[in-house]
């Protein structure tokens, strides 16, 4: 009998020991291009913490948020996941995110290593809902050969200005780079807007409530502000400065300098650009790898034009958050701390896929990109412009639907900008006030 007991005890001890050794943290992210870098981080983390395992799972942006929400309900959500500024308020409101502030204070973590503004974007009051992992800005992407053919120098392109009335020197540049099928450029009186071969400029679509790559840089450089500040319940989409910006964009399609929104909304401007049908598009820092792989010509990156209030770009940053329902909170925190450390972020920097949140690693990222033949310094230079965060608000998805539909109507030429935006803004403020 006694022997049996001992055997049983040993067996139990062994079993519990084995399960302890394999404490697994599940980590979810949406960008497939970044998975290898974070897989490498996980390997380094497991080596330093032999009792922990990290399972990196990738789900595309389209299913990502549904997957997370259903996971919260079913109790199967990942312990740690990549989070977005436009989405986290909803999760905070429903108590799904772990407040990291007490852990940061306990471990005396230095939070001033990140780009200014990144850490604060994930705070609400004294609470902290994410640790910054990367940042991105918007720059102007251009087809080098097309600009050379038109006799435009890179220096000339850097110095453009823009205004919503006549487009400024940027507007002239767009016309100059447009070509119809007969070979006339957009400045020629013979230019046929119905038969255009190359569009001078293309924006991707309506962009919803933030207009990240679509219209935000123009509107903000024209003096537009989304709202009074993060978590504000008062929005300014009725501002004439936004209306005139969108009117200018809609007119580009009417003049043939841009494709109609209905032609690009499915594929996006980047696909038209890669197909050689567009000379310039605004796009985010995370896209440089895509352009490298998909454009069969040399692609350049330069500063966005300066508007009436100077140059502006959205400065967006992702962070890693811990699910409040996680059964491995301490281990999850260890992993998040590692993700936010220079140990992991320098691995990410060397992969050259995105700019890590830690300021000192920017040069490493640029070098990694230079080694692949990409000069991405324009994105870093854009951080010196007037930067702004995407709008952070409760009920963002409902607000987004309203704004998206109004801007689609304007860009499709189905509605006048000012009345459409005024009506949308009234609805937005009604939703926000609830």
Partner 1 sequence: MNDKLQARERRAGPIPWQAALPRPGKDTLVAWGMVLPALIGFAIFYAYPLLQAVRTSFTDWNLLSAPGWVGWSNYVELWQDDKFWHALKITAYYVLLNIPLQTALGLFLAAAMDRLLRSVALRAVVLFPYLLSNVLVAMIWLWQLDPTLGWVNHALDAVGLSSHAYFSDPDESLLTIAGVNIWRHMGLVALLFLAGMQSIPRDLYEAAAIDGASEWQMFRRITLPLLRPVMVFVLVTSVTGSLQIFDTVAVATAGGPAESTRVLVYYIYENAFSYYRMGYASALSVVLCLIMVLYTFVQMRLLNANQSDLA
Q: Is 96 in the site for partner 1 (CB under 8 A)?
A: yes
Q: What kind and span of H or E run contains 280?
A: strand 278-284
If one asks whether residue 267 binds partner 1 (CB under 8 A), the answer comes out as yes
Among 14, 17, 36, 95, binds partner 1 (CB under 8 A): 95
Residue closer to partner 1, measured from CB, 75 or 125: 75
Confirm or reject binding of residue 240 to partner 1 (CB under 8 A): no
3-state secondary structure of 12: helix
Minimum CB distance to partner 1 smaller for 90 or for 320: 90
Q: Does 403 bind partner 1 (CB under 8 A)?
A: no
CB 311, CB 385: distance < 8 Å: yes
Does position 72 bind partner 1 by CB under 8 A? yes
If you search the block for the tokens 């918007």, which residue do you land on?
A: 138
Please give the full DSSP string across 401-422, using - where no structure is assigned.
HHHHHHHHHHHTTSS-HHHHHH
- Which residue, 104 or 250, has its beta carbon nearer to partner 1? 250
Range in contact with partner 1 (rule: CB under 8 A) among 50-58, 146-154, 185-193, 395-403: 395-403
> Binding to partner 1 by residue 398, rule CB under 8 A?
yes
- Shortest distance, position 57 Cβ to partner 1, whole Å: 20
| Binder of partner 1 out of 349, 409, 417, 428 (CB under 8 A) | 409
- Sole binder of partner 1 in the list 377, 395, 418, 429 (CB under 8 A): 395
Strands 386-388 and 312-314: parallel
Q: Hey, is 84 helix, strand or coil?
A: coil
State which of residues 177, 259, 348, 361 lies at the interface with partner 1 (CB under 8 A): 259
The residues with which 141 forms a beta bridge, in sequence order, are 281, 301
| Interface pick for partner 1 out of 69, 342, 418, 422 (rule CB under 8 A) | 69
d(CA 156, CA 425): 38
Residue 88 · residue 129 · CB < 8 Å: yes
Alpha-carbon span 221 to 358, nearest angstrom: 27
| Residue among 90 and 180 whose Cβ is closer to partner 1 | 90
Q: Which is nearer to partner 1, 211 or 356 (CB)?
A: 211
Residue 185: helix, strand or coil by DSSP? strand
- Asked if 60 interacts with partner 1 (CB under 8 A), we say no
Task: Record the tokens describing residue 240, joined without a space.
Answer: 């004439």
49-57, 178-186, 332-340, 402-410 -> range binding partner 1 (CB under 8 A): 402-410
Judge residue 258's burial from the number of C-beta atoms within 10 Å of its C-beta, 0-12 exposed, 13-18 middle, 19 or more buried: buried
Does residue 188 interact with partner 1 by CB under 8 A? no
Residue 67: HSE in the Cβ half-sphere, 13 Å Cα cutoff: 16
CA angle 272, 275, 281 (to 5 degrees): 40
Interaction site with partner 1 (CB under 8 A): 66, 69, 72-73, 90-91, 94-96, 259-267, 272, 277, 395, 397-398, 401, 404-405, 408-409, 412, 414
């Amino acid at each position: 009998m006694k022997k049996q007991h001992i055997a049983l005890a040993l067996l139990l001890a062994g079993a519990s020991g084995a399960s302890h050794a394999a404490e697994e943290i599940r980590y979810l992210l949406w960008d497939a291009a970044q998975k290898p870098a974070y897989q490498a981080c996980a390997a380094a983390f497991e080596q330093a913490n032999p009792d922990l395992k990290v399972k990196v799972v990738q789900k595309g942006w389209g299913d990502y948020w549904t997957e997370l929400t259903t996971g919260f309900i079913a109790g199967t959500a990942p312990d740690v996941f990549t989070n977005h500024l436009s989405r986290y308020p909803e999760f905070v409101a429903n108590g799904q995110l772990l407040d990291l502030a007490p852990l940061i204070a306990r471990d005396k973590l230095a939070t001033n290593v990140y780009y200014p503004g990144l850490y604060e974007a994930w705070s609400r009051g004294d609470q902290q809902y994410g640790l910054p992992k990367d940042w991105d800005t918007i720059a102007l992407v251009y087809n080098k050969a097309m600009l050379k053919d038109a006799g435009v120098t890179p220096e000339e392109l850097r110095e453009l200005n823009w205004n919503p009335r006549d487009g400024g020197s940027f507007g002239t540049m767009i016309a100059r780079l447009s070509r119809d099928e007969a070979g006339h450029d957009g400045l020629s009186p013979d230019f046929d807007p119905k038969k255009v071969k190359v569009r001078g400029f293309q924006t991707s679509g309506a962009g919803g409530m933030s207009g990240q790559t679509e219209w935000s840089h123009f509107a903000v450089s024209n003096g537009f502000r989304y709202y009074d500040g993060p978590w504000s319940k008062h929005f300014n989409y009725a501002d004439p400065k936004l209306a005139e910006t969108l009117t200018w964009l809609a007119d580009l399609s009417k003049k043939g300098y841009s494709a109609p929104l209905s032609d690009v909304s499915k594929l996006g401007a980047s696909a038209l650009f890669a197909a050689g049908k567009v000379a310039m598009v605004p796009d985010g820092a995370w896209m440089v790898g895509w352009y490298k792989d998909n454009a069969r010509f040399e692609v350049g990156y330069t500063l966005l034009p300066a508007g009436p209030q100077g140059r502006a770009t959205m400065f967006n940053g992702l962070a890693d958050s811990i699910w409040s329902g996680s059964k491995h909170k301490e281990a999850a925190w260890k992993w998040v701390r590692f993700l936010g450390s220079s140990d992991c972020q320098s691995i990410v920097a060397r992969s050259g896929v995105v700019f890590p949140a830690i300021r000192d690693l920017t040069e490493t990222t640029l070098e990694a990109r230079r080694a692949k033949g990409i000069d991405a310094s324009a994105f870093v230079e854009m951080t010196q412009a007037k930067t702004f965060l995407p709008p952070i608000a409760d009920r963002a998805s409902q607000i987004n639907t309203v704004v998206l539909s109004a801007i689609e109507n304007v860009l499709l030429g189905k509605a006048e900008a000012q009345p459409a935006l005024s009506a949308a803004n009234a609805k937005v403020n009604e939703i926000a006030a609830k």
